[in-house]
């Protein structure tokens, strides 16, 4: 959201291998401008060292077990304006407090729009590399850009993914700025998702016992960014991740995923798979909403696995608030018995802190606690 170029070479010199120059390998990979898809297309059987998870990270994650018997809450929005309104608000409240994640169906976006969006992202990534290269950059001033790992130069291990980023800010994107392979579908999808976002912020306001327009009046949905992830099939999925464990630096995230699956949520010390539902969307609370709700709603850590058979696609819409605004716990949600747990934080300040470190490092939320 600012004009910096994301090439700070400052983390580690390696990932546990003596004499290994990680920065050199990262730079060589980045300069190809072909991303992970380019590696896969060469027919590699072993993944480069920059993608291998450090042993201590693997050991830390081994504390959490996978639980296939738990399921992220599923909420039907079909009667959101009717007799089931209060029931839906209550379901959103419970899910936001206990899980920080839920899936929605009958949300108003046609299945054809969802399917075409997934198809468009696939076609963009599977076209000739020379076409994709035209969009490859780490300059965050570019509204439409492609790169592999926003924290590539700061993380300890890179994620096995490439991303098409569409930074909307507070204005609409011009269609001709978008890649031709997914232009029409992206314009249509953005229109629908922004409308759904407004509806969800109304429901979330009521779930916090506030007026329906409260969060909208705080400009929680004013700026947004769409990130289209492409996770190529990985020859060694057991030693890599698509996205490392993190929480989202947003107010709210709406995620479209294909039917392959791989998203996991950390719940009660268990990794819980968010299984794809035909026509469904995944909703999760972001860090900024946890701040202004004074910890009533939870921004939960999650990650994405990779597989060795098929590429996986997901499209995340991050509602980022307003860069010039200052956010703090909502007065109506604090008291002498429940004082503010976070200091005032500017939208741009929070965003800059997120971009200053690897997403696998200390949660950004922790830096703003009182």
CATH number at residue 45: 2.60.120.330
Q: Is residue 45 part of a domain?
A: yes
Give how many domains the chain has, as a whole number: 1
pLDDT at 6: 55
pLDDT at 14: 46
CA 197 – CA 109 distance, rounded (Å): 11
Q: Is residue 3 part of a domain?
A: no
* Helix, strand and coil percent figures for the chain, each rounded to 5: 35, 20, 45
Q: Is residue 9 part of a domain?
A: no
Q: pLDDT tens, 38-73? A: 999 999 999 999 999 999 989 888 889 998 889 999
Q: Is residue 14 part of a domain?
A: no
CA 170 – CA 225 distance, rounded (Å): 10
Q: Is residue 185 part of a domain?
A: yes
Q: Is residue 95 part of a domain?
A: yes
Q: Is residue 178 part of a domain?
A: yes
pLDDT at 12: 42
Q: Is residue 4 part of a domain?
A: no
CA 337 – CA 355 distance, rounded (Å): 34
Listed as ranges, residues in the chain with pLDDT below 70 are 1-18, 170
- Domain that includes residue 221, residue range: 22-368
pLDDT at 148: 97
């Amino acid at each position: 959201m600012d004009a910096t170029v994301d090439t700070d070479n400052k983390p580690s010199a390696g990932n546990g291998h003596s004499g290994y120059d990680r920065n050199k390998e990262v730079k060589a990979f980045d300069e190809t401008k072909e991303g992970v898809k380019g590696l896969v297309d060469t027919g590699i059987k072993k993944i480069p060292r920059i993608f291998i998870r450090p042993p201590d990270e693997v050991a830390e994650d081994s504390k959490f077990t996978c639980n296939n018997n738990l399921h992220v809450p599923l909420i039907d929005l079909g009667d959101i304006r009717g007799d089931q309104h209060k029931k839906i608000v209550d379901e959103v409240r419970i899910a936001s407090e206990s899980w920080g994640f839920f899936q929605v169906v009958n949300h108003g976006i046609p299945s054809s729009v969802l399917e075409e969006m997934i198809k468009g992202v696939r076609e963009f990534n599977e076209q000739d590399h020379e076409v994709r290269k035209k969009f490859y950059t780490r300059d965050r001033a570019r509204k439409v850009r492609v790169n592999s790992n926003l924290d590539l130069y700061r993380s300890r291990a890179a994620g096995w993914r490439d991303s098409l980023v569409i930074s909307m800010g507070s204005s609409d994107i011009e269609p001709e700025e978008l890649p031709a392979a997914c232009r029409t579908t992206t314009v249509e999808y953005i229109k629908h998702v922004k409308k759904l976002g407004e509806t969800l912020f109304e429901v979330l306001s009521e779930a916090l016992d506030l007026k329906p327009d409260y969060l909208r009046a705080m400009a929680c949905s004013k700026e947004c960014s769409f990130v289209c992830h492409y996770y190529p099939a990985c020859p060694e999925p057991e030693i890599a991740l698509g996205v490392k464990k993190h929480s989202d630096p947003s107010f709210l995230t709406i995620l479209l995923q294909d039917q392959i699956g791989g998203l996991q949520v950390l719940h009660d010390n268990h990794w819980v798979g968010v299984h794809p539902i035909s026509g469904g969307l995944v909703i999760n609370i972001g860090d900024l909403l946890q701040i202004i709700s004074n910890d009533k709603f939870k921004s939960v850590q999650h990650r994405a696995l990779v597989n060795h058979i098929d590429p996986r696609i997901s499209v995340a819409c991050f509602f980022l608030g307003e860069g010039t605004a200052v956010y703090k716990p909502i007065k109506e949600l604090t008291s002498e018995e429940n004082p503010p747990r976070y200091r005032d934080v500017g939208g741009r300040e929070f965003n800059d802190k997120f971009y200053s470190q690897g997403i696998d490092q200390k949660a950004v939320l922790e830096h703003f606690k009182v």
